[in-house]
Chains A and B, each alone.
Chain A
Amino acid sequence: MPRFSLFYRLICRPLWAEPARTALAALAIALGVAVVLAIDLAGNAATGSFHSSLETLAGDNDLEIVATGGVPERVVGALAAMPYALRISPRIDGYAVLTDTRQSVPLIGLDLVANVSELSTRPSGVDIANLQDSLKYLSDYDTVWLGESFKRGIGDRVPLLINDHLAEYTVRGVFPDSNGSAAAIVMDIATAQRALGRLGTIDRVLVKIPQEMTLDTWQQRLSAILPAGTEVRLAGTSTAENRKMLAAFRWNLRLLSYIALVVGAFLIYNTISVSVVRRRADIGIVRALGASRAAVLIAFLGEAFCFGLLGTVLGLPVGRLMASVAIKLMSATVESLYVSSRPGPLDLDAGAVILAFIIGIGVSVASAYSPAREASLVAPVEAMARGRREYLAAVHKLRDLLWAFALGFAALAASRAPAVGGKPLLGYLATLLLILASALAIPAFVAGAMHLAGRSLGKLFGVEALLASRSLSASLRRTSVLVGALSTAIAMMTAVGIMVGSFRQTVLLWMEDQLPADLYMRPAGNVGPDRHPTISTDLVETIAHLPAVAAIDRLREYEISYDGMPAGLASIELNVLRSYHNVDFLSGRSTNAVLADLRGQNAVIVSEPFANKHQVRAGHSITLSMGETRSGFRIADIYYDYSSERGTILIDRETLLRYLPDPAPSNLAIYVAPGTSIADARATIEHAAAGRRVLLFTNRDLRGEALRIFDRTFAITYALEAVAVIIAVMGVAGSLLALVIDRRRELALLRFLGAASAQIRKLIVAEAALLGMLATAAGVALGFTLSLILVFVINKQSFGWTIRFHWPVAVLVGALSVVYLATVLAGLYPANVAVRLRPIEVVHEE
């Protein structure tokens, strides 16, 4: 028998014959592929192609020289005098908000004079048209050059909000910025220093070195003439470091997206199993006619291939569409939790398409292997045997249960292992093992539940429930796969729901403790996890001396690089902290005891994520570069912190000022004097700050904003779970449809025996409801277990914070009810198909 006609007879005809079922199977794969693709594409755009704004207009430099709090500017002269053909580009890196369009834009200060000569190579890589002409305005400190994409003309006035100042600047030139990817505001370095209040220092020196000799050699040569606190590193290090940091975030999302695919795989497995069971006689016939085992195996794998192919083709456009939504959510998260960035373009390139096909078809074929192999084992004599098959499947349920226990123990062991290379690999393994264990335990669970419930179901809900429960336990394998798929989706939803809920609750409680001040002030200029604009010191002094103000805590934060990862270095005021504030430390020591260790000492406290990320404990010493020096600091203790995943080092303000004398704070925590109402104090402060661009938050505002960011951050997580659940529910619909078709004889018989069509409908819906109930029960149990791993293992290992367990009851009940309802509704279409069957044709067809 030619292979194709075998394939046609066994596979294609049945597929065409049931378009709805075929479509559902393909759709399940399509959604799975779409989600994976969407997260991959969006992840690429939002994080993978992350370019630090520090790379904007950075040219083709090899090395960069940086220092916490800025590089002393005299370094530039020393570098320029070195007897090597180096290209030295000093640079100021800041941010400004174009207040008329509310765009937050990198503000770059360059030595534009050095850019004028066309005989020397351009240090900055910025190609400003007619720069020579516009240098006429060099001495006007309102001169800016803008990227073309801002669409401003020469001579236009632009309002820029920088730190707490708003001022108008004049556009003196534009430069090409490749459609906004290098969009920036360029100032001459002298203007930029003034605008940002950074006289005396520059942020970086970019260096291009001659070809000969290694980067290392140059790094050493340069370091030799630089102050100890400066660091010579590869250009683009900040991008690399941030990418490394973002990789974990991306990894977690990617894994979540695979859940949808796993659920899809369950359903393909189910679909092919159904095909095999149904076409057993056909398989027997073609085997009797001479088809080889391999041919049958290939034919069924071919069916899965068709689903995979069709699913991927459908999934590609859907994935692209989802990606455009996902990228917004992801970049918002990156922006609020990690680093200022602009998402790159969504790039559905050949690689991504090929990967989608590999995933779609691969998962489909792989999940079909077991049933296809079973098909190939059908003996030709079985051609005429029917109906006995299902009973055999049930025999293995105890053996599977034992396996489930074994995997469960393995999961327990894996969950206790430490992180591998900063990633909770074994935690994820534990999750996977638990899902597998649950899949294996489900046949026993379903059989047990049905056995226990059996008669009482009939008594309670009528004959339809009895028939439904019997039908489900009779086709145990099929039912188990369905319950497995749906319960996996529900479990993930539950687990993530619990994790996020616990996290949220933890943050809420923490904020109660951590935001003790009445009012908080920050500059209106662009604030981000890696951006710390400052408040003018004169304003700070004014506020400190207002009678309505009891005390202020001047917080100053710097963006630093510690051990190859970005981190925050912030100063606190011990006096204020001691009298107003309790900090929770891992050691459980009192705030006063710990803070006493900091006073006048080279000592710091670090946040829990910092300690976990860098494997440090109280008593350890860390070396910090500050200004021109490098010094060791003892870690006095570790404090709980949920404000930044990057990790923060806190230091006494007095100590910090010794190293970095810039007194301008990034934030103010203001304690209102006793007897003054917060509203009055606020009015007084606002009056004092008139003309300055600062934002004043009450304690409540700040908490509200924090929660808003929190919720936005996890929106994508919910979306991913929703897709997994949708796939599972679709699978329920498809499988019930198959079930209806397989049981049409029985359904017809019931009509002969006096069943009304409403009863037939009720029967099918009852099956959906039972499936939903089983899946919900199994899913919540599995979900709870998974949530323990998420909260106490994966979260801890990948983000480094301790979360207190909390049941988000309302959210869970709501979500589960929706899923349950959706499952029941998924039974409606198959139920209608069942009702439309013509009983006499069915019964007499034999």
Chain B
Amino acid sequence: MPALSFHHVTKDYITDDQRVRALDSVSLDIASGEFVALVGRSGCGKSTLLNLAGAMDFPTAGEVLVGGVATSSLKDSALTKLRREKVGFIFQSFQLLHTLTVFENVELPLLLAGQRNARASAAERLALVELEGLGERYPHQLSGGQMQRVAIARALIHRPSILLADEPTGNLDTATGNVILQLLLGVTREQHTATIMATHSVEAAALANVVVRLRDGRIQEIERR
């Protein structure tokens, strides 16, 4: 069973009374341990695909199956539970909470899930992203690369089966970006996650097992390596 499946998924948005088709009959299976690069121009539907994959949104038609369960069939609380257990998000602009320390940022998903003692897990994840000892710092005391590492650590804290990254290197210089990409690749292998990364970068795409090219909401090509 694939970790994540899209079956003929179509997604329409309504903006200013106009229907815009963001995804058009997309079908895709992603297995655990696969590192998928989602490429295409801005507005081609990458973010929409990630949102659907992360159970943050529902398809207009078709089905998204996370761990074999169709997201459309779930209520809000079940979706929240699904996200808490199975999905980790990484964003282009890191999206750390500036009022929290590095530790607290990393712990946050566990805390939100109701766990009290998450400090050990957080420390372990920080070690994974090679940020031991920076746990008490605040985000604004970190470099961009370090912040994205914190974000990765946060995305991994609850051992998700799906890792969704939206332009994770978009705000970083090339060298730092490469380090982050290597980190994501390593995590995918070691944690056996199904990782989907939306990216503009050719270098980034080159690292992936699977490259999915999107254009105007349709899959143009799936390249498996």
Contacts and interface: CB of A to CB of B under 8 A. Distances in A.
Interface of A: 387, 458-459, 462-463, 466-467, 470-471, 473-474, 745-746, 749-757, 759, 839-840, 843-844, 846
Top 9 A-B pairs, shortest CB-CB distance = A754-B84, A463-B111, A470-B99, A474-B99, A756-B80, A755-B112, A752-B89, A753-B109, A754-B83
Interface stretch (B31-39, B66-74, B90-98, B183-191): B90-98
Contacts of B77: 756
22 contacts: A458-B111, A462-B111, A463-B108, A466-B104, A470-B99, A470-B100, A471-B99, A474-B98, A749-B95, A750-B108, A750-B112, A751-B80, A752-B56, A752-B89, A753-B89, A753-B109, A754-B84, A756-B77, A756-B112, A759-B112, A844-B47, A846-B92
Given A470-B99, A752-B56, A754-B80, A843 B91 contact: yes
B113 interface: yes
Contacts of B154: 753
B176 to A, nearest CB: 20
Contacts of A751: 56, 80
B51 interface: yes
B9 to A, nearest CB: 15
A755 B56 contact: no
A755 B111 CA distance: 9
A680 B57 CA distance: 86
B221 interface: no
A491 to B, nearest CB: 29
A751 to B, nearest CB: 7
B47 A754 contact: no
B95 A754 contact: no
A752 B83 contact: yes
B56 A754 contact: no
A387 B98 CA distance: 9
Interface residues of B, number: 29
A843 B76 CA distance: 19
Nearest to A388: B140
Question: Which of A462, A463, A843 neighbours the largest number of chain B CB atoms within 10 Å of its CB?
Answer: A463
Contacts of A754: 80, 83-84, 109, 112-113, 158
B94 to A, nearest CB: 10
A447 B208 CA distance: 47
A69 B84 CA distance: 90
B168 interface: no
Nearest to B105: A753
B54 interface: yes
Nearest to B155: A753
Interface string B164-205: 001000000000000000000000000000000000000000
Contacts of B95: 745, 749, 752, 843
B93 A846 contact: yes
Contacts of A466: 100, 104, 111
Contacts of A846: 92-93
Question: Which of B100, B154, B158 neighbours the largest number of chain A CB atoms within 10 Å of its CB?
Answer: B100
Contacts of A756: 76-77, 80, 112
Question: Which of A470, A751, A756 neighbours the largest number of chain B CB atoms within 10 Å of its CB?
Answer: A756
Contacts of B99: 467, 470-471, 473-474
Given A753-B112, A754-B112, 20 more contacts: A463-B111, A473-B99, A474-B98, A474-B99, A750-B108, A751-B80, A752-B54, A752-B56, A752-B89, A752-B95, A753-B89, A754-B80, A754-B158, A756-B77, A756-B112, A759-B112, A840-B51, A840-B57, A844-B47, A844-B51
A750 B112 CA distance: 8
A749 B98 contact: no
A840 B91 CA distance: 12
A756 B109 CA distance: 11
B83 A749 contact: no
Contacts of B91: 843
A754 to B, nearest CB: 4
A94 to B, nearest CB: 74
A756 B77 CA distance: 7
A743 to B, nearest CB: 10
Nearest to A751: B56
Nearest to A758: B77
Nearest to A463: B111
B80 A755 contact: yes
A486 B122 CA distance: 38
Question: Which of A752, A754, A759, A846 neighbours the largest number of chain B CB atoms within 10 Å of its CB?
Answer: A754
Given A463-B111, A749-B95, A755-B80, A840 B158 contact: no
A753 B100 contact: no
A322 to B, nearest CB: 41
Contacts of A753: 83, 89, 108-109, 112, 154
Interface string B102-118: 00100011011100100
A15 B77 CA distance: 35
A749 B109 contact: no
A751 B104 CA distance: 16
A603 to B, nearest CB: 74
A227 B57 CA distance: 99
Contacts of A755: 80, 112
A41 to B, nearest CB: 47
Nearest to A844: B47
A474 B76 CA distance: 31
Contacts of A750: 108, 112
Contacts of B51: 840, 844
Contacts of A471: 99
Nearest to B160: A754
B25 to A, nearest CB: 21
Contacts of B93: 846
B74 to A, nearest CB: 13
A377 B116 CA distance: 45
A541 to B, nearest CB: 84
A473 B101 CA distance: 14
Contacts of B100: 466-467, 470
Contacts of B54: 752
A840 B109 contact: no
Question: Which of B77, B97, B166 neighbours the largest number of chain A CB atoms within 10 Å of its CB?
Answer: B97
A754 B83 CA distance: 5
A544 to B, nearest CB: 81
B200 to A, nearest CB: 15
A435 B71 CA distance: 56
B80 to A, nearest CB: 4
A770 B69 CA distance: 40
Nearest to B56: A840
Contact of A463 (B57, B80, B112): B112
A833 B104 CA distance: 26
Given A474-B98, A754-B83, A839 B109 contact: no
Contacts of B76: 756-757
Nearest to A745: B95
Contacts of B97: 467, 470, 746, 749
A755 B80 CA distance: 7
Contacts of B104: 466
A466 B56 CA distance: 25
Nearest to A753: B109
A272 B113 CA distance: 37
Contacts of B80: 751, 754-757
Nearest to B154: A753
Contacts of A745: 95
Contacts of B111: 458, 462-463, 466
Contacts of A458: 111
A471 B154 CA distance: 20
A846 B94 CA distance: 12
A761 B83 CA distance: 19
Nearest to B86: A754
A459 B111 CA distance: 10
A756 B111 CA distance: 12
A471 B97 CA distance: 10
B129 to A, nearest CB: 17
Nearest to B48: A840
Interface in B123-175: 154, 158, 166
